């Protein structure tokens, strides 16, 4: 009996060791998959981007839900999943179906679990440490030319305007059936917008740009255009109250002077 117990203990220890090694290997593979497939829109502890910050997500969502959103997010939307509906409303679009299989999804979840448990997973840098998009007149002009197609993309991809509407001086067109990019920068911010332009993972874009990714210079130029559009909208939507009040006061004085002269 004692011998049998010792054998069982040894086998149990071996199994636990093997499971730990496998888990570490899956976490490493999950990190590679995360960086390649998810890192464009998501961070782990670096704040929201194109999608939510995923730090702590394995404690907030069930394992089954995480599998579903990684493998077939479109099915969650079709089934009117309330969590998915809330995310689509907050970020302005549905997470694209990236073609990730069941085993790879488990590897990504293993990596996220390690990050949540304070393991070896490396979080993205905090949002404040990420480089903000640079905006110059030259970059804006380049971004506008790339967006409209008056300047061809280096690797031959289709210009943004061939599909997307975008409200900006001198730009008109796009298909109303495709996402309007006019408020994309406001929703996604620097990191999210850069990630989306670098990854181009959305279903239609994935096919068009599969072998034609944007260059870093093209991403920088388009980012300058999107950021300038956001700044213009912000400036147009905020009329300083003191200036408005001063303008009304001046108008009132002019009206009173004219009225007084008329009486005299």
Q: Which candidate, 89, 105, 127, 117, places its Cα nearest to that of 38?
A: 105
Q: Are 111 and 121 in contact (CB under 8 A)?
A: yes
Instruction: Decide which of 3.30.300.250, 3.90.650.10, 3.40.50.300, 1.10.760.10 is the CATH code for 2-125.
Output: 1.10.760.10
Tell me the domain boundaries of the chain: 2-125, 137-236
pTM above 0.95, yes or no: no
Average of per-residue pLDDT across 24-47? 81
What is the distance, to the nearest Å, from the Cα of residue 84 to the centroid of all Cα atoms in its chain?
Answer: 15
Half-sphere exposure of residue 135: CA atoms within 13 angstroms, side-chain side: 13
CATH 1.10.275.10 matches 137-236: no
Q: Distance of CA 126 to CAs 31, 135, 219, Å?
A: 18, 22, 21
Over residues 212-227, the pLDDT tens digits come to 889 999 999 999 998 8
pLDDT, mean over the chain: 75
* pLDDT at position 19: 45
Over residues 147-183, the pLDDT tens digits come to 999 999 999 888 888 888 888 888 877 765 667 788 8
**Dihedral angle, C-alpha 26, 28, 30, 35, nearest 10 °:** -170
Q: Do domains 2-125 and 137-236 have the same CATH topology?
A: yes
Cα angle 98, 193, 238 (rounded to 5 degrees) comes to 140
Q: Provide the 3-class DSSP secondary structure of residue 51.
A: coil
Question: Phi, psi (5° rounding) for residue 168?
Answer: -165, 145
pLDDT for residue 14 is more than 50? no
């Amino acid at each position: 009996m004692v011998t049998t117990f010792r054998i069982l203990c040894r086998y149990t220890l071996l199994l636990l060791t093997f499971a730990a090694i496998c888990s570490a290997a899956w976490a490493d593979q999950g990190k590679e998959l995360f960086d390649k497939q998810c890192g464009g829109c998501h961070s782990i502890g670096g704040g929201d981007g194109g999608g939510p910050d995923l730090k702590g997500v394995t404690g907030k969502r069930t394992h089954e839900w995480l599998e579903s959103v990684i493998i077939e997010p479109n099915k969650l939307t079709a089934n009117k999943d309330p969590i998915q509906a809330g995310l689509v409303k907050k970020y302005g679009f549905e997470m694209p179906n990236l073609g990730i299989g069941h085993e790879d999804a488990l590897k990504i979840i293993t990596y996220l679990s390690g990050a949540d448990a304070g393991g070896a997973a490396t979080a993205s840098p905090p949002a404040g440490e990420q480089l903000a998009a640079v905006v110059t007149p030259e970059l804006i002009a380049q971004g506008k030319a790339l967006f409209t197609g008056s300047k061809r993309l280096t690797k031959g991809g289709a210009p943004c305007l061939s599909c997307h509407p975008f409200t900006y001086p001198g730009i008109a067109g796009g298909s109303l059936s495709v996402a309007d990019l006019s408020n994309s920068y406001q929703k996604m911010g620097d990191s999210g917008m850069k990630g989306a332009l670098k990854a181009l993972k959305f279903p239609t874009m994935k096919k068009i740009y599969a072998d034609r990714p944007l260059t870093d210079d093209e991403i920088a130029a388009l980012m300058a255009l999107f950021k300038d559009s956001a700044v213009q909208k912000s400036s147009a939507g905020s009329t300083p109250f003191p200036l408005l009040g001063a303008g009304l006061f001046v108008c009132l004085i002019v009206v009173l002077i004219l009225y007084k002269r008329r009486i005299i």
